[in-house]
Structure 1
Amino acid sequence: MSFLTYIFWLIAFVAGVVVSYFVPETTLSVGGKFFFVGAWGIVLGFVLYNICKKKVENAEAEFTETLNSIKGEKFDFVTGLPASEKREPELEPEDMPLPKGALPAKAALEKLDEQAVRVGFPLDVWKQYSRVLLKDRPVPEVVKALENLLPKLFPNAAGILYMYAGTQTDLHKVLSFGPYIISDDVIRPGECASYASGDIVITDYSTPELTGGCTHLHHHPKGVSFCAPIEGIEEHFGIFSLQTDVLPDNESLDDWHAKVSIVATTFGQYIANQNLNVRFKQQSIRDNLTGLFNRRYMEESLSREVSAAIRHKNPIGLIMLYPDAVVDIQQTRGRHAVEQLLWELGQRLPGYVRSEDIPCRYEGEVFCVILPGADLKITRQRADKIRNEISQLQIAYGDTILATTLSMGVSVMPVHASDVNSLLYTAAASMQLAIQSAGNRVIIADALNNR
């Protein structure tokens, strides 16, 4: 059914409805009007049905006639035309005439391949470098792999990698490569413009207006230089600087910019991961307030050192100490003042012991120091030194001064104890005796036998 036929049918039906509406009720009742509308719709529907049926029959007959006409005809399924229908032969793509000045596709591809820019990227050494990164190898091993990679990645160039060494004030050379020196072994972060910008800085010494502002590159100011920050997880770890007199013929400034970015980014992320690992390890063995080793690490270390002392028949000393002023400061200044005092003790205690000693926060306000290989004389001398130094300590806190003395207990194995538990017990008991004796003193575990 066509759209036009449907429109005519709809107009006819609406006309019948309108006529029935305007016929007076005196001539035709309301029920008669409904009957008329229904009968009118039936008549129109019958007419529409016959029209549609006729069209369907015509379409079927036409399809049958067409099908019969092509039964004996060979059909070319490639062209979609009967085989009897002649068509002009088509030219192959390579036989078609080309516009003036155009090259055949094959010749154009060959020419493009000849002119293609091949960026120098040594895959063998890069794989070695990436392998040590992915395996999370130690920093010296990664730096060695990077040192092998850089001369091949940046031929005929010179470079230097700086990293912080303990403080954030100076950058120290970690590695350098190339035929000449481009910068000093130690620089300040502010001497490199990449530190402030947080991005790769390029300096073209042949173009005065394109100066990056990297003042540390004063040894060989020629050609082009690149300076990239070594960063990761929003932290700055160092700087990678690179200088070349002339870029290779088959490489552009953008190519080297990309390679410098790859080196700086991968190495920066590796250092950031190493830094996170160190922090996690430190947090697992360090006390959050004082920065000293926590009790868990102290107990593990004491067990290890005691086992070694028994095996090698060496002495081991243990000092426990308690700040006498804690209670008074807690009552007069509050808990924050106590924490300030404990923090100060934690910062200074490592400076009063030997490098091989292990200062720890035992629990609460109690500290301890493990002294591997120390006999009673050495342990007693170390305890007296700690007590004397802390008794002279003046800590500024607001408009007041915090100060304290120490109650200390000393125990030495094998003189006072034979294992870990007895060593801890005798040292703690000696400290409690010092507290009960008005503090500011060192009590040796020998005194426990006299009680």
Structure 2
Amino acid sequence: IAELRNKWFFILLPGITLVIIFTLILSFRLSKPLAKLRNAVSEVGKGKLDTRVKIESRDEIGELGNYFNQMVENLEKTTTSIDGLEREITNRMQVEEKLLRVQAELEARVAERTDALMDLRKASEELSDRADDLEKRNKEIILMGQMINLMQSCQLLDEAYTVFAQTIKQLFPNDSGALFVFRSSRNLLEAAAVWGKTQPEAMSFIPDDCWAMRLGRDHCVADVATVLKCRHVGDAVEAYLCVPMTAQGEMLGSLYLMRDYGDMTQSAKTWLEENQLLVHSITEQIGLALGNIKLRETLRHLAIHDPLTGLFNRRFMEESFDREFLRSKRKNSPIGIIILDIDHFKRLNDTFGHEAGGAVLRELGSLLQRCVRGSDIACRYGGEEFVIILPEASLEVTLERAEHIREQVKHLNVIHAGTPLETINISAGVAVFPDHGKTYEIILHAADIALYQAKKSGRDRVCVAGFDGDADSKV
């Protein structure tokens, strides 16, 4: 066995040696290209895609190098393509970011412009509202100016009330109200002008029924549940305004404005705020205008009335003669004239004193006012003489009226200082236009002659003017 082992050892030793030599040679030939390939792979791994393996043989190592070069070339192309795609994606992302920024800027600008447009629209609406308000105020000022001008031209209070009623309806077309003024007794306020679709609950009331009259200032009520309500205001009224009217420090009345039932276009508070200033201004102007008219009426009354008897004075009598004679000539109608005088008036004055005489004149003045028609004009001519003008009265009517007055005078019971005075008698002369003259001077002179004839004939009688200058006596 040992020999056999040694024999096979020596037989296999040369072969093993050849294998080892061949293996060494082959390993040397393979290690160098593989090292190059390994180095190339390392370079590619570092990102150097331009690295290539030099092909030195056409064996498997050469094919492996060729495959490696193709792979690196494809990888380079792919990497280049990917880089291009990344750049494109980056560019697109940058573009998108820029577009988003532009979009955001545009949206911000649009929002700013939208806000600006909203502000402009709001400003336009405010300007429109202000323009409407200014137009309304301008209309109110024009109407008030027209009303005041017309009222300043009015001679009577009734004329002024009519002007006020026509204007106030235009100033407050959607509301109702009334102008209340004091009676001459000043214990009651009465409606002088009313407007609107809702009539006031009370057409007259005492001053204490109105808080504005009590307080002497505006009384505004937006909610009757929280503010004291005037007693002259109806239960259905929800909101109203009372403004006292004064002139020269004198309380003349009150302007009452109420919100019409069912008007829900604005709140009661807004309604009051919008109307209070206007109502206050109107009340001030109306008060001044009415005060001026009352003052003019007072002055005119003093100018044309006798302060003792309350009858018209001689100045008004002469003006009335001119007016009535022109009217009579135009209408071809007569005018009756009565001149009367108190009999023995001087003796009465001497006996009882001038104060007693004044009392007699006052009582006679009151009697004449009761005995004449509305169209007749009773005047104190002077002293104890009186003249009565009777438009469109014939001689018979005039004579009848004079006789009636003469009889009524006898029934006068004049008491002075607690003492009854003696019975009063009058004498009267009667003349008629155009029977006794063509001018009022001639007619008056004819009636005066007839009065003189009544005195001369024994007094307490009526005489008619004659056509020849004499007078016919009628006892």
Query: Does TM, normalized by the shorter one, top 0.5?
Result: yes
Point out the more displaced range, 338-347 or 357-366.
338-347
Matches within 5 A, 1:35-184: 122-134=137-149, 136-138=152-154, 139=160, 140-151=162-173, 157-164=175-182, 168-178=186-196, 180-184=198-202
CA distance in 2, matches of 1:444, 1:318: 10
How far off is 1:450 after superposition?
7.3
Partner amino acid, structure 1, of 2:231:
T
CA distance in 1, matches of 2:322, 2:141: 45
Counterpart of 1:275 in structure 2 is 294
CA distance in 2, matches of 1:134, 1:184: 30
* SS of match in other structure, 1:227: strand
Counterpart of 2:77 in structure 1 is none
Q: Structure 1 379/269 Cα, relative in aligned 2: closer, same or farther at 3 Å?
A: same
Partner amino acid, structure 2, of 1:143:
A
Percent of aligned pairs with the same amino acid: 27
CA distance in 2, matches of 1:217, 1:192: 9
Counterpart of 2:234 in structure 1 is 218
Q: Structure 1 204/400 Cα, relative in aligned 2: closer, same or farther at 3 Å?
A: farther
How far off is 1:204 after superposition?
5.2
Counterpart of 1:233 in structure 2 is 248
Counterpart of 2:369 in structure 1 is 350
Counterpart of 1:382 in structure 2 is 401
How far off is 1:418 after superposition?
3.4
Question: What whole-Å deviation, never above 9, does each CA across 1:98-135 have from its counterpart, x for those lacking one?
Answer: xxxxxxxxx9xx99x97xx9796632133122233135
Partner amino acid, structure 2, of 1:186:
S
CA contact (8 A) 1:171 1:189 kept: yes
Partner amino acid, structure 2, of 1:397:
H
* SS of match in other structure, 2:458: coil
Counterpart of 2:105 in structure 1 is none
Point out the more displaced range, 179-188 or 137-146.
179-188
Q: Structure 1 254/439 Cα, relative in aligned 2: closer, same or farther at 3 Å?
A: same
How far off is 1:216 after superposition?
0.7
More helix by share: 2
Q: Structure 1 390/303 Cα, relative in aligned 2: closer, same or farther at 3 Å?
A: same
CA contact (8 A) 1:356 1:372 kept: yes
Q: Structure 1 205/251 Cα, relative in aligned 2: closer, same or farther at 3 Å?
A: closer
Say whether 1:438 aligns with 2:458.
Answer: yes
CA distance in 1, matches of 2:187, 2:472: 56
CA distance in 2, matches of 1:424, 1:411: 7
* SS of match in other structure, 1:122: helix
CA contact (8 A) 1:182 1:219 kept: no
Alignment match of 2:354 (pick from 326, 332, 335): 335
Q: Structure 1 248/450 Cα, relative in aligned 2: closer, same or farther at 3 Å?
A: closer
How far off is 1:305 after superposition?
2.6
Alignment match of 1:187 (pick from 205, 229, 246): 205
CA contact (8 A) 2:464 2:471 kept: no
Partner amino acid, structure 1, of 2:139:
D
CA distance in 1, matches of 2:198, 2:405: 52
CA contact (8 A) 1:409 1:444 kept: yes
Question: Normalised by the size of structure 2, how large is the TM-score?
Answer: 0.62
How far off is 1:377 after superposition?
0.6
CA contact (8 A) 2:343 2:425 kept: yes
Counterpart of 2:7 in structure 1 is none
Counterpart of 2:440 in structure 1 is 420
* SS of match in other structure, 1:356: coil
CA distance in 2, matches of 1:177, 1:418: 50
Partner amino acid, structure 1, of 2:452:
Q
Partner amino acid, structure 2, of 1:211:
L
* SS of match in other structure, 2:172: helix
Question: How many residue pairs align between the two structures?
Answer: 334
CA distance in 1, matches of 2:269, 2:472: 89
Counterpart of 2:315 in structure 1 is 296
Question: Normalised by the size of structure 1, how large is the TM-score?
Answer: 0.65
CA distance in 1, matches of 2:221, 2:206: 19
* SS of match in other structure, 1:421: helix
CA contact (8 A) 1:126 1:149 kept: no
CA RMSD of aligned residues (A): 3.3
How far off is 1:349 after superposition?
0.8
CA contact (8 A) 1:360 1:369 kept: yes
Q: Unmatched 5+ residue regions in structure 2? A: 1-118, 155-159
CA distance in 2, matches of 1:290, 1:328: 20
Counterpart of 1:287 in structure 2 is 306
Q: Structure 1 259/450 Cα, relative in aligned 2: closer, same or farther at 3 Å?
A: closer
Name which one, 1 or 2, has greater alpha-carbon Rg: 2
Q: Structure 1 323/369 Cα, relative in aligned 2: closer, same or farther at 3 Å?
A: same
* SS of match in other structure, 2:252: strand
Q: Structure 1 203/251 Cα, relative in aligned 2: closer, same or farther at 3 Å?
A: closer
Say whether 1:315 aligns with 2:310.
Answer: no
* SS of match in other structure, 2:339: strand
Point out the more displaced range, 190-199 or 367-376.
190-199
CA contact (8 A) 2:336 2:395 kept: yes
Question: What whole-Å deviation, never above 9, does each CA across 1:58-112 have from its counterpart, x for those lacking one?
Answer: xxxxxxxxxxxxxxxxxxxxxxxxxxxxxxxxxxxxxxxxxxxxxxxxx9xx99x
CA distance in 1, matches of 2:212, 2:171: 22
